[in-house]
Structure 1
Amino acid sequence: MFDRVKVVVNLNHLWHNYTLLKSIHHDKRVMAVVKADAYGHGGVQVAHFLESKGCDFFAVTDLLEAIELREAGIKSDILIFGKTLPENIKKVSEYDLIQTVDSYDYAYQLNQQNLKIKIHIIIDTGMSRFGIYHHRQEDLSSAKAEVIQILNLKNMINQGIYSHFACADEDNENFTNGQFNQFKSLVEAIENEGYSLGLKHVSNSASIIKYKDRTFDMVRTGIAMYGYPPIKTKLKFLPVMSVFARVIALRNLQAGDGVSYGQTYQINDHRRIASIAIGYADGYPRFFSNNDIFIFKGHSLPVVGRVCMGVTMVDVTGLSINIGDQVEVFGIHKSLESMAVKMDTITYELLTNMSKKRLLFEYIYE
């Protein structure tokens, strides 16, 4: 029973999406990306479920997320995408984690801690976020030298090397092809020197679907695993998260009445307005003031007035609806993509907005 907002995470849909992505590259290892609390779905719960199904590699943003998974009993490999300060690197060793290394200078600092640290080396082939710089072919020599310097550090146990596509979800394929070729040429140059690089990976959700021949040993399943492929595809992905909120008040308003802060919505005739127990503190953006709908038994309920901190008002005129009924904010019957387009943002942002402290999460699997 929930009083305000319930987030339903459908693990059947998660498994459907995971296996769909895996089927595209059935001969590759799969890394399930559960950073940002599994894109708002619950990192521990998602990782436990996938590990029970055979997934054996996860990725997170930082040390705290990684420790949370380990302390919850996750045994599989866990890669930290972000940077762990040298003074905290002992935890990476203690919890048997894998640290991303983005430069020789950083690797050297870690090496000085006199601890054996598992690492993956990240190469910047065009994202310009972090990694060893290799945007152009003329960068090959310096990039190769820096990677080899890292490989020769006695306390760095290298287990992989990777890069990240910046434009795999864009129409222009030239940039992605260029990134792939830069990474491939660097890997080949280093391996030709007799070094082993471990797992090689570049494929994210978009490229798993779009660039089937642009992959290496492992693919990284991110947003598509949660039901929202970042490119158009004929593949049938299912949304994993649905959000429902309760009707907590009903009132009949007359012409001349206004709704919510600033009275931005004015009533022109007799209307019935419902107050729904979700607002911007719960992760439902204020942007949708007067600019969205909720769903109730197949009916669209227009949002009226400004979204409040914990309440949003909708027009329910002519419907049989009662206090305590639940409406769908997004999920199976209302597309999160349409909300993202309206906001000129991405589904990632809306999913990760959902506040764990204020919402009840329910996990279903049959």
Structure 2
Amino acid sequence: MASSKKKWFGYLVTAALSLILILALLVSADVNEVSEELAHSSLLLIVIAALLYLAMVFVRTVRWYILLKGAGQTLPFKSCLPHYAVGQALNDVTPGRVLGDAVRAAGISEEEEGVAIGASLSTLVYERVMDMLFTTIALVASFASVYIFGIYEGAWDALAFLMVIIVLGNLLVIGIISHPAIAAKLGAFGIWVSKALKNEKDRERFANWVNKTVASFNEGRSMSWKKNKKHIITSMFLTILIWCMEFTRMVIIFDSIGATVFLSVIVLSSIISFTAQLIFPAGGGNMMVVSEFFQAAGLTSAVSATAGLLSIITSIWLIVPIALCTFILKKGRYGTHRGKTGQQTTVNE
């Protein structure tokens, strides 16, 4: 209980620091100028950007559903959407972007009969690999474009260093999570941890849970190209669509405030800001990157800060209240799972 409280306290501190960062960026850009930019922005285009983000969440949910089906899990699509919304919101407001994924996988396996938590977790591996592969390729291509056309006025050495770090980090993570032995090693570690439990029944129960989770994880990630060709190809196309929708959303945001920016710069900032969210959630990392990046691309500090603010308003700050309402409406169903008879059984905390 104490460690859980410390963890949540750490999340709150990080979120608070992110909000302070947002305020600091607004103040440094002159709040009055930002307010003026917002007053002259196109409300219609801002609404379109927000709707495009919600459509992107829907497409991400479709991709997850397809991967679950490919992993042999049977469930209705309507069950995936609320879990994805809650998971996305948690990822956006907590550092590391992993808490929401864990909640999403655990929630869907608890509520839906026939969905193993290990198989659900395995689909998250495929999601991460697909996202990282695409963003790595897009990052390198956009950086080359920006360099060739000379449309970036910031420190090239710092940008190049940051890009190399992100690319190497992506490739390292892809290698780790794709390694066949990782699940077995984590399972062995879980069994070792279970030895700390004093009660023999609890120790045995935990060990059985670990073994079942590892088994279902391996089963889920063993999607072969020949057997699951349709699921994998469809998910790849959806990944490209998802990121194209994100880039389009940023283009619309700049159009709403009357600013014109090269697409390659938008691609760079979108991918780098996504990485910055790992450290500064709740919009702090996103706004920091967008504000600083577009200033270096020739825009004023007020325009850059306004674009950063609109970026998080039409995404992170939009999905969090929606997810909160979803969670409240589903309260009483979370923390339950369906037995083989279809009846719900309460899970002990």
Q: State the TM bucket, normalised to the shorter chain.
A: under 0.3
Q: TM-score, normalised by structure 2?
A: 0.28
User: Which structure has the bigger radius of gyration?
Assistant: 1
Structure that is richer in helix per residue: 2
Q: TM-score, normalised by structure 1?
A: 0.27
Structure that is richer in strand per residue: 1
